[in-house]
Amino acid sequence: MEVVTQYIDHKTELEQHIVALEAEQASLISDISALKERLTTLEMERHASSLSSEVEALRTEKAVLEEKISSYSVESVASSEGYQV
Amino acid sequence: MPYTDDEELPACPNCGTPNDTPSKVFSVIVEPKEGERGLTQRKVGMYQCSKCGTKYPIIVSRQKYLVIAEDQLKKIQSDVKDLKRTNEDLEQSVGSLKRNQEELEEMIKEKEKESQVKQLEVKLRALEGQVSYLKKEKGELEEKVSRFR
């Protein structure tokens, strides 16, 4: 009788432990899925931010270059007409 | 010999009046006819009709006896004794087999229980491994997410 009781106790204990672990497993899978999504969003935000900085730098560089080109154009017109600028 | 309700009472052959109590019962031994074996003991009841006073006999019972040689009877008795002994041995064997069967059934039940527990333990170990792996993966992901802040 004692052996039977021990068996039932052990079996019940195992089943309860399994149920608890299955719940934890489901919760972890859900958390991991949410974290992966969050990580992807963060990586995209970082990439977007980096791209914005690069675009801004390129715009500045372009503006500087355009400024330089325009200054060369004015110099060239002045020298060809005998004016000093 | 008293008659029961199911039996038909002997009736007077003269007037048909039923009568359930014989005035006298005596035994008659009848020798076998040609081709027959054994003797027959008949119990004959003498009845007297309470109405018309007619006396008439009715066979109350018959018992057949076979006459056999003493050697043959002893052999039969010996055979019966042997058969009884064999029967007792067989009953003991059957009892022993039944006990064995019960023990085996009990053992099978125990093994089935052990097997169930073993299966649960295997499942538990596998789940523990998976949960541990998932915890590690979650920790790594949280670490990566925290680096973005």
The ipTM of this complex is 0.70
Query: For chains A and B, what is the number of CB pairs under 8 angstroms?
Result: 52
User: Closest chain A residue to B110 measured between Cα atoms?
Assistant: A4
Give the contacts of B116 (CB within 8 A, at least 6 positions apart). Answer: A11
B119, B144, B146, B149: best mutation site toward chain A, by most A Cβ within 10 Å? B144
**Is B130 in contact with A25 (Cβ distance < 8 A)?**
yes
User: What is the pLDDT confidence band of residue A85, given thresholds at 50, 70 and 90?
Assistant: very low
Q: pLDDT band at residue A3, thresholds of 50, 70 and 90? A: low
| Nearest residue, CB atoms, B120 vs list A18, A31, A36 | A18
Residue-wise DSSP of A2-17: HHHHHHHHHHHHHHHH
Q: Tell me whether residues B141 and A32 touch, CB distance under 8 A.
A: yes
pLDDT in tens, A7-59: 778 899 999 999 999 999 999 999 999 999 999 999 999 999 999 999 999 99
Rounded distance, CA B131 to CA B142, Å? Answer: 16
Element (H, E) at B109: helix B70-147
Taking the domains of chain B in order of start, what are their residue ranges?
Answer: 1-67
Per-residue pLDDT band for B103 (boundaries 50, 70, 90) equals very high
Exposed/middle/buried for residue B19 (C-beta within 10 Å: 0-12, 13-18, 19+): buried
User: Are the CB atoms for B119 and A9 separated by under 8 Å?
Assistant: no
Residues linked to residue B25 through DSSP beta bridges, in sequence order: B45
